[in-house]
Amino acid sequence: MDIALIGRIIPVFVQAAWTTVQISLLSLVLGLAVAALIASLRLSHLAVLRFFGAAYVSVFRGTPALLQIFLLYFGGPQLGIQLEPFAAGAIALGLNIAAYMAESIRGGVLSVDRGQMEAARSLGFGEGQSMRWIVLPQAAKLMIRPLGVNAVALVKGTALVATISVVELTYTAQRFIGSTYKPFEIFAVTAVLYMIMVYGLTLVIDWLDRAYAEEA
Q: Could you list the residues that contact another protein (CB under 8 A)?
A: 59, 62-68, 70-71, 74-80, 156-160, 162-163, 169-170, 173-174, 177-178, 181-184, 186-187, 190-191, 194-195, 198-199
Q: Of the two residues 115 and 181, which places its CB atom closer to another protein in the complex?
A: 181
3-state secondary structure of 82: coil
Q: Of the two residues 71 and 136, which places its CB atom closer to another protein in the complex?
A: 71
CB of residue 57 vs another protein: minimum separation in angstroms?
Answer: 13
Q: Of the two residues 66 and 136, which places its CB atom closer to another protein in the complex?
A: 66
Please report, for residues 112, 127, 135, 186, the alpha-carbon distance to residue 118 in angstroms, rounded to integers and kept in the order given.
Answer: 11, 10, 10, 57
Q: How far apart are CA 44 and CA 42, in angstroms?
A: 6
CB of residue 120 vs another protein: minimum separation in angstroms?
Answer: 34
CB of residue 204 vs another protein: minimum separation in angstroms?
Answer: 15
Length of the chain: 216
Q: How far apart are CA 1 and CA 178, in angstroms?
A: 17
Closest CA to 112 of 216, 214, 210: 216
CB of residue 214 vs another protein: minimum separation in angstroms?
Answer: 27
Q: Identify the burial level of 199 via C-beta atoms within 10 angstroms of its C-beta, where 0-12 means exposed, 13-18 middle and 19 or more buried.
A: exposed
SS3 of the chain: helix, strand, coil, percent, to 5: 90, 0, 10
Q: Of the two residues 44 and 163, which places its CB atom closer to another protein in the complex?
A: 163
CB of residue 195 vs another protein: minimum separation in angstroms?
Answer: 4
Q: Of the two residues 126 and 178, which places its CB atom closer to another protein in the complex?
A: 178
